[in-house]
């Protein structure tokens, strides 16, 4: 076969097979995307979704993701100015499909005595809670020897006890309705612990255990429980993390800066919630390998972590 005839043959195949096949694949992908979008909208439209830590990062991205599906989003955090900014950003989307106006309610997770009142306020304003997303939290950077106990206590109060109090306050009416979904935004550090993150890892380990126990107990009441364990996400978490002295760490970690975008993370979380997954590990390759190592070759994991601690 001559080069010219080969070229003509290839052109014929592309014209009569390649183009139709390509168009067909594109059409299938487009229809799949539309089908997925309709499924998400059907599952979430009109749902009352409470998001703690909604003033920035993953919480803000979750607010956008749920609002776009027609959910009534309750934005909760300490910073009223930032919450109102997020609310205005949501409203300014001018979505063509029906949407519910977001609700802003101030919330300080460290003030445990006020958290039941926060849940009551949500019920008073919205009538119910369909999905409670315990996302608010604070991280830690510092060696155990140089971390004040007050730091351990604050991080445990915000990350763990705050989520526990909110969950316990929301549960009775969910059980009464036999409907509801509790979501805990943990971390891969709820599955593995690394040096210089002791307070943070401990709070996330506790959240992981509480979520597993809650899931088992709520099965009979038709309440879903999902524990999310993201890896590195490109947020200000390391900037706001507490140092051992209790001051802000104020440094952007390289791994955090190179992490998943909050929007990608929120989208995957939303899909996981709609599927009613029991857990989701959304992480880069190395943390996933480390989780596997911790469970299958613990002695190797201990050696690796000791080496890391010596370097820092």
Catalytic sites, residue numbers = 200
d(CA 68, CA 89): 12
Which residues fall within 8 angstroms of residue 173, CB to CB, at 6 or more apart?
Answer: 123, 128, 129
Tally of residues, the chain: 312
Q: At what angle do helices 285-296 and 298-311 cross, to 10 degrees?
A: 130
Given a contact cutoff of 8 angstroms between Cβ atoms, the answer to whether 108 and 83 are in contact is no
Given a contact cutoff of 8 angstroms between Cβ atoms, the answer to whether 181 and 223 are in contact is yes
Q: Residue 140 corresponds to which tokens in the numbers above?
A: 């830690």
d(CA 224, CA 175): 11
**Complete DSSP assignment for 236-268:** SHHHH-EETTSSB-----HHHHTSB-HHHHHHH
For 145-288, strand residue ranges (E) read 181-185, 224-230, 242-243, 279-282
* 175 DSSP 8-state letter: H
d(CA 209, CA 187): 13
d(CA 129, CA 118): 12
Which residues fall within 8 angstroms of residue 294, CB to CB, at 6 or more apart?
Answer: 191, 192, 301
Given a contact cutoff of 8 angstroms between Cβ atoms, the answer to whether 50 and 21 are in contact is no
């Amino acid at each position: 076969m001559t080069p010219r005839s080969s070229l003509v043959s290839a052109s014929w195949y592309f014209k009569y097979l390649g183009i139709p096949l390509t168009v067909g694949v594109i059409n299938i992908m487009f229809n799949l995307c539309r089908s997925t979008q309709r499924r998400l909208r059907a599952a979430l439209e009109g749902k009352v979704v409470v998001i703690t830590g909604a003033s920035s990062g993953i919480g803000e991205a979750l607010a956008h993701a749920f609002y776009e599906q027609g959910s009534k989003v309750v934005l909760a955090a300490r910073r009223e100015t930032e919450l109102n900014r997020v609310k205005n950003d949501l409203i300014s989307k001018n979505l063509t499909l029906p949407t519910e106006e977001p609700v802003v309610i101030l919330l300080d997770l460290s003030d445990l005595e006020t958290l039941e009142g926060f849940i009551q306020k949500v019920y008073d304003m919205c009538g119910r809670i369909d999905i409670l997303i315990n996302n608010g939290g604070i991280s830690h950077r510092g060696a155990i020897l140089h971390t004040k106990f007050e730091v351990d206590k604050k991080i445990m109060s915000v990350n763990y006890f705050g989520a526990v109090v909110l969950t316990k306050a929301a549960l009775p009416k969910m059980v009464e309705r036999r409907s509801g979904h509790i979501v805990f935004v943990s971390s891969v550090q709820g599955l593995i612990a690394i040096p210089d993150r002791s307070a943070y890892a401990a709070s996330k380990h506790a959240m992981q255990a509480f979520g597993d126990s809650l899931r088992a107990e709520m099965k009979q009441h038709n309440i879903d429980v999902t524990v999310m364990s993201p890896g590195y996400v490109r947020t200000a978490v390391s900037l706001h993390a507490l140092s051992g002295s209790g001051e802000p760490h104020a440094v952007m970690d390289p791994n955090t800066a190179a992490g998943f975008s909050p929007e990608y993370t929120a989208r995957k979380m939303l899909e996981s919630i709609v599927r009613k997954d029991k857990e989701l590990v959304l992480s880069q390759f190395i943390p996933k390998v480390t989780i596997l190592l911790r469970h299958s070759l613990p002695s190797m994991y201990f050696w690796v972590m000791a080496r890391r601690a010596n370097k820092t």
